[in-house]
């Protein structure tokens, strides 16, 4: 990978060519397939689903005792429940930085941790989420071209904004599924459990911890 010049993963290589595996349609074309058969949801549906997912995350975070936020979300990865919960909303913030401020999107943009001393309780993380949800709603209401076909700058090229929008939506949704699993492990019924229908149309991994 270093020889090819790739600086992040996942990467798919063929000979001296490689592709960042950020979009499955691009991957399918790279390996000679005729697409994946997936039809992305329209932007107006994505913004509704993303908001619904983020509101669910707020509810779930408030159900987790503060003293347990420092525990690992899953045993085999060194990421606390606190950082996982913050990450769900940071994904939205990273998207807005690219969509509004033209910041080049890199995989690590969504992994920026909270500032020291901030987002240390469920209430604080949910409050951070409030701000991100409001900013997403404001961005959408003020967006002139709601087709989201305008190009954005990313480390893997300049795809239409729609592609990064969909990726950010399902990325948050995948981690909210993980929060549900954490609550279940604690023996707590999620407050307003997201249903299969709620997440329909998002290209989510089959497994929760993928």
- Cα–Cα dist 88/180, whole Å: 13
Residues 6+ away with beta carbon under 8 Å from 141:
none
What is the reported pLDDT for 32?
54
Q: What is the pLDDT of residues 63-75, one digit of tens each?
A: 999 999 999 999 9
What is the reported pLDDT for 138?
98
What is the reported pLDDT for 31?
47
- Cα–Cα dist 61/59, whole Å: 6
Report which DSSP code applies to 180: H
For the cut 80, the answer to whether the pLDDT of residue 111 exceeds it is yes
* Confidence at 26, pLDDT banded by 50, 70, 90: low
- Cα–Cα dist 168/18, whole Å: 23
- Cα–Cα dist 5/15, whole Å: 13
Within 13 Å of residue 111, how many CA atoms lie on the same side as its CB?
Answer: 5
For residues 180-188, give the mean pLDDT: 97
**Least confident residue range of 28-37, 134-143, 198-207:** 28-37
What is the reported pLDDT for 182?
98
For the cut 60, the answer to whether the pLDDT of residue 139 exceeds it is yes
Residues 6+ away with beta carbon under 8 Å from 150:
160, 161
For residues 89-110, give the mean pLDDT: 97
CATH label, 43-185, candidates 3.40.50.980, 1.20.1440.230, 1.20.120.450, 3.40.640.10 = 1.20.120.450
**pTM score, whole prediction:** 0.84
- Domain range summary for the chain, segments of one domain joined by +: 1-38, 43-185
């Amino acid at each position: 990978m270093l020889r090819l010049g790739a600086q992040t993963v996942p990467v798919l290589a063929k000979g001296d060519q490689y592709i960042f595996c950020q979009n499955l349609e691009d991957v399918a074309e790279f390996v000679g397939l005729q697409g994946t058969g997936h039809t992305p949801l329209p932007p107006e549906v994505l913004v509704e689903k993303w908001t619904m997912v983020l509101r669910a995350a707020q509810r779930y975070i408030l159900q987790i005792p503060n003293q347990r936020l420092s525990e690992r979300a899953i045993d085999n990865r060194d990421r606390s429940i606190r950082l996982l919960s913050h990450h769900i909303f940071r994904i939205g913030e990273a998207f807005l930085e690219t969509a509004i401020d033209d910041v080049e999107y890199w995989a690590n943009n969504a992994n920026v941790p909270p500032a020291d001393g901030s987002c240390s309780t469920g209430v604080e993380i949910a409050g951070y989420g409030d701000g991100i949800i409001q900013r997403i709603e404001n961005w959408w209401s003020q967006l002139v071209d709601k087709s989201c076909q305008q190009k954005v700058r990313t480390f893997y090229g300049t795809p239409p904004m729609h592609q990064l929008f969909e990726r950010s939506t399902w990325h948050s949704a995948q981690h909210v599924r993980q929060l549900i699993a954490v609550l279940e492990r604690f023996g707590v019924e999620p407050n307003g459990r997201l249903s299969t229908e709620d997440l329909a149309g998002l290209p989510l991994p089959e497994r929760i911890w993928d």
